[in-house]
Each structure stands twice: as structure tokens, then as C-alpha cells.
Amino acid sequence: MGFKKLGRIGFMLALALSVLSACAVVPGTSSKQGSGKDSGKPFKGTITMYAGDYSPNKIVLQNDKKATVMQTLADEYEKKTGVKIEFIKGLPADQDYMTWVRTKAAGGQLPDIIWSQWYDANSALAKGTLIDLSPYLKAKNPYADNTPWNQLLNSQIMSETKAPNGSTYVINGDYVGTATFYNKEAFKKAGITSFPETWSAFIDACKKLKAAGYTPFAWDLASSPTGMDRITWLARLFYTNFYSDEYDNLMFSGSETMTNKDQVIAIKKGIFGPENKKWMALWPIIKDFSSYWQKDFTGSDSNGQGTMLAFLKGNVGMYFDGSWAAEQIKSAKPSFEWGSFKNPYPDKATSEFATDFDSSASIGGPSAGFQYAVPSQKANNSLTPAKEKAIVDWLMFITTPKHDEAIVNELGRDVPTIAGAKPTAPLSNLSDLINQPLKSIFGGINLEQKEQDAIYRAFQNYILGDISLAQFGKTAKTEMNKTADQMIKDNHWDLSEYLDK
């Protein structure tokens, strides 16, 4: 989430067209990235791709949709260019993907294209594993009326997912968001005529739903992954807003994202924790919010679907979920019309610590299925300059508005990000999220599972009235500092330069 980025790389090599192939040839940088000499001949052969969620041969779980569009486009591309796209089979459930990537890279055996989260590409993989795609970005996309590629790719996302050195390793085509799903019939009966953008407007909507005879909100307070996830969602929504003006200063270690080390420093400096009124302000707000939850909000999790099941019954006005839930709700065929809107953010009517920053995008980001990177010749011994150009050409082919929309919307779980591509109707109100800054602050409550569990148990007791806010704060402080101290010890961190100031 680098907000102190280097300037854009302005260099672009000339576009060359080959009369020997229908494949459009884009400028390459292979001689600088270790893939050998360019023979000048167009590539003829097969490009291998690990396409992740959008792979046509991905192992499909129960109730999941099978992806078919990528194969259709691959067949069309082969007819146009003579280049075949071969999709690598998904890994077994018990095999760690990043371990597989590192192992294959070490032996020069990675596929020509891999799925990679931008933050893994920027920092977790060894230097030189992936090709810097920056020099290609200004090239014209022959499959989109020769529009420069960087005008099709979302500029906000591409800018903020660059590596600290300015390199672009990942091409993005989708965005996973979170949203407030709502019952349109309930909103109409309650007289709610517009989406609540701020938290105070959201609470007002809860009041109207309650007055109209609906349960305003379905919430899960059970000790379950879903229950704990949702509290970290609210923490991000509020803390990202509350600390927005301090965001860059909280990147103590100089990373482009807020790392665990940064969170530890913030805890030890008292920025995160109950001694800071800003940090403590969240919890009474949630307790007030709990008065609008269903009566059995401490009940079982129903395998992570409890709140959705409550919503589907028709007597609940709203609930939080990920963009991936849209297809599940649609498949359930509820008896009422429904939709979604981006999560409301804190405002001054909610807290004195609220800023003007819209933190709706803090829960989600460009980290879904359409994140593709190109391994270097070091990590993929089969790479040649001609093949590199063909790989980029294929990436251009699948990042036209029409093709991106078809790929992403087939599964209906995420929002397409290519300019001109539109999401499915249930996710249409989330389109603006892709243009928001990539800021996200957890507030130090998620460093380690034991810490999170202990804080969550104290939070449950606070919501239920079994302990006071001060008692909750005491537990949170103890757990956060204990975890921070252990991480300092385990990682041999010398934080004196940050803590002695």
C-alpha cells in the first residue's frame, strides 16, 4: 500500500508487428531481465498458466461454479495467433501454494504465468523471480482498439500495488470486496430511500428497520472464524478511518503496507491499545450497534453461514458479507429482492475521532483471483524473449473490458477492474471500491491467533454486559503487549530506534 511511490517508469520500447504471425507483438525487456537474446522470430508453441480460481480445470467444491470462460478465450486466442494456452492443474488441498512457487522457482520450473498476490510478488518471493512488467504498460493493446494498456488497467490499483522500487510484477483484473447486503422490501417498508454512506446514517437505518418490525441486522458473536472475522472487519473499518491522517507515519519500518512489525511498534508506543482514547472509542460504538442484532446473536455459526441463513428468511434488514456471497444468495432464490452497498464509514456524528476518509475499501482489495505475474527466465527456464512477448500479448487479450467482465462475472464473486468492465448486478454498488486508496489498519488485535482469541472472548463478555469497558481494555492491553513482546523476541527485533524517541 505504498503511498510514497517512485515516479512512473516512462520508458517504452517501440511496438513491432510481425508479418509472420497474427499474434500482436508488444515491446519486451527480456535482455535486461535475463531471458536471453531475441531471435526476432515470433513465438510458436504453448504458454502454460496457473490461473487459480479462473482455471477451467480447478477442483470445484460443492456449490461452487466451474470456470469456463478462460478456456473459451484460450481457444479463441489460439485460432487468432497459433499460440496454445495450457492451464496447469490446481494443487491438492494439503499443498501450500507459496511453498510450491518457491520450490518450482528454485529449479527454474515455474509455469509461464502464475497467480500471485501483489504483496507476495513485491516482498515474499526472492528477488528476480518475476519480470517487471512496467515497460509494457504504455504499449497499445491490439485487442482493445489499440488503447494503451495502462489506460485499461485500473490506475489506482496499479499505482498502489507497485513494488517499493517502482516495479510492476502483477497484472490485476478483479477486486474482492465486502458489503452490506440488504432486503429491498424491508428498506421500502421502513422508508429508507438511500444507502447509508456513514455510520450515523447506518444506525438511523437500523432504527427505521426496527420500527418497521424487522430485525435490523444479523450478526454472529459465536466463537467461530466468521464471528472473529467480522470483528476484525469492523476494526479495520473504524481504525482505518480514525488513524487515516497518521497512516504514513505508522509505516515505521518503511514497508508499503502496515506490517506486524509496524503494529508491534504502535502497541509499544501506546498508539494501539486502551491508553489511547482513539483506539478505545471503537468498542462502545459496537456495543451500541449490538442493540440492533438478532436475539440469538451468540448462537451457533451454522458452518459460517448463520448470518446469511438469517438474512434469507426475509425478516432481517441487513448483514455483512464478502462479495463472494452474492452468488450464494442468488442460488438460494430468496423470496424477496435484495442487493448490496458498500459498508458505511465513521463520521463526526459517530465519533470525535472520525476523519473525512471513506474507509469502505479497507475490508477487501485487489487480492482475489485475477492477479497474474510472469516468472523470469531464472524461475522459468523455458522463457525466451519471443515467448515473453507472447505471454504479455495473451495478458493483453484477457484484460480487455469485454474479456475481463466475462471472466470475473462468470463466478460472480468479485468486481472486475478493467476500465469499462461492469460487475454483476448484485455487486454494482461496489464498483467505486476499486478506485479507493489501499489503506487498512487492524489496530493490533490480529497479530497472533491466541491474542485474537483472548481479545475476542473479552469482547464477547463486554457486549453481553459481563465485564466493563475498562476490564475489556485491561485484557486487550495484556494480550497485545504479551504478543508484541513475544514477536520481538522471536524475530530478534531491535526497536530502540522507534521506541527511544
Number of domains in the chain: 2
Alpha-carbon span 463 to 322, nearest angstrom: 24
263: cell is: 503494529
pLDDT at site 438: 83
Are 338 and 374 found together in one domain?
no
Does residue 148 lie within any of the structural domains?
A: yes
Domain range enclosing 294 = 178-363+439-499
pLDDT at 444: 96
What residues form DSSP beta bridges with 340? 181
Angle at 351 between CA 347 and CA 354, to 5 degrees: 50
Provide, for the chain, the percentages of residues in helix, strand and coil under a 3-state DSSP scheme, each rounded to the nearest 5: 45, 10, 45
Identify which of 464, 465, 462 has the alpha carbon closest to the alpha carbon of residue 475. 462
> Tell me, what CATH number does 231's domain have?
3.40.190.10
Position 17 scores a pLDDT of 28
What does the pLDDT read at residue 483?
96
CA distance linking residue 291 with residue 222, whole number of Å? 16
Residue 25: inside a domain, yes or no?
no
For residues 77 and 85, is the Cβ–Cβ distance under 8 A?
A: yes
Paired sense of beta strands 140-141 and 316-322, if any: unpaired
Q: Is residue 330 part of a domain?
A: yes
Same domain, 161 and 188: no
Say what the pLDDT of residue 482 is: 97
Q: Are residues 167 and 39 in the same domain?
A: yes
The letter for the amino acid at 268 is K
Query: In angstroms, rounded to a whole number, what is the distance separating the alpha carbons of residues 346 and 201?
Result: 10
Q: Which three cell numbers stand for residue 13?
A: 520500447
If asked whether residues 159 and 239 sit together in one domain, one would say no
The reply to whether 403 and 486 lie within a common domain is no
Is 428 domain-assigned? no
Task: Write out the chain's pLDDT in tens, 501 residues.
Answer: 333 332 333 322 232 323 233 334 444 444 345 445 666 789 999 999 999 999 998 877 666 788 999 999 999 999 999 999 999 998 887 889 999 999 999 999 999 999 999 989 988 899 999 999 999 999 999 999 999 999 999 999 998 899 878 899 999 999 999 999 999 999 999 999 999 999 999 999 999 999 999 999 999 888 667 778 889 999 999 999 999 999 999 999 887 678 899 999 999 999 999 999 999 999 999 999 999 999 888 765 555 578 999 999 999 999 999 999 999 999 999 999 999 999 999 999 999 999 999 999 999 899 899 999 999 999 999 999 999 999 999 999 999 999 999 999 999 999 999 999 999 999 998 988 888 888 899 999 999 989 999 999 999 999 999 999 999 999 999 999 999 999 999 999 999 999 976
Give the C-alpha separation, 197 to 195, whole Å: 6
Residue 223 pLDDT: 65
Instruction: Please compute, for residue 338, the number of CA atoms within 13 A of its CA located in the half-sphere on the CB side.
Output: 28
Residue 481's H or E segment, with its range, is helix 469-491
Got the DSSP string for 443-475? Answer: TTS-SSHHHHHHHHHHHHHHHTTSS-HHHHHHH
> How many Cβ atoms are within 10 Å of 471's Cβ, its own excluded?
13
215 and 344 together in one domain: yes
In this structure, the answer to whether residues 183 and 168 fall within a common structural domain is no
pLDDT attached to residue 296: 80
Residues 314 and 341 in one domain: yes
In degrees, rounded to 5, the angle at the alpha carbon of residue 362 between the alpha carbons of residues 424 and 194 is 55
Question: Distances from the Cα of 119 to the Cαs of 52, 123, 160, 340, 375, in angstroms?
Answer: 17, 6, 10, 28, 15
Is residue 434 a part of any domain in this protein? no
Distance between CA atoms of 152 and 147, rounded to whole angstroms? Answer: 7
Here the cell at position 359 is 474507509
Residues with Cβ within 8 Å of residue 168, at least 6 apart in sequence: 132, 133, 134, 137, 158, 161, 162
Strands 84-87, 316-322: pairing is unpaired
Q: Say what the pTM is.
A: 0.81
Q: What is the dihedral of CA 291, 292, 294, 298, to 10 degrees?
A: -40
Question: Letter for the amino acid at 302?
Answer: S
For residue 140, being part of any structural domain is answered with yes
Round to whole Å and give the CA distance between 361 and 356: 14
Exposure string (b/e) for 129-153, b if CB count within 10 Å is 16 or more? bbbbbbbbbbbbbbbbeebebbebb
- Identify whether residues 330 and 378 lie together within a single domain: no
Q: How far apart are CA 398 and CA 395, in angstroms?
A: 5
Q: DSSP letter at 296?
A: T
* Maximal CA-CA distance, the chain: 77
**C-alpha R_g of the chain:** 24
Q: Count CA atoms within 13 Å of residue 164 on its CB side.
A: 10
CA-wise closest residue to 444 among 403, 485, 499, 409: 485
What SS3 state is found at 399? coil
Which three cell numbers, joined as nine digits, stand for 443?
Answer: 489496530
With CA atoms as reference, report the closest residue to 248 among 111, 125, 357, 148: 357
The answer to whether residues 217 and 336 belong to one domain is yes
C-alpha–C-alpha distance, residues 460 and 178, integer Å? 23
Residue 183 bridge partners (DSSP)? 338
Is 432 a domain residue? no
Which among 192, 172, 171 has a CA at the least distance from the CA of 182? 192
Closest CA to 37 of 365, 306, 360, 383: 383
Short-list 99, 42, 98, 110, CA closest to 382? 110
Nearest to 85 by CA among 401, 405, 407: 407
Please give the pLDDT value at position 303.
55
68 plus 190 within the same structural domain: no
The pLDDT score that the predictor gives to residue 36 is: 54
353 domain residue, yes or no? yes
Strand 140-141 with 147-148, pairing:
antiparallel
Amino acid at 143: Y
Same domain? For 263 and 389 the reply is: no
pLDDT of residue 20: 30
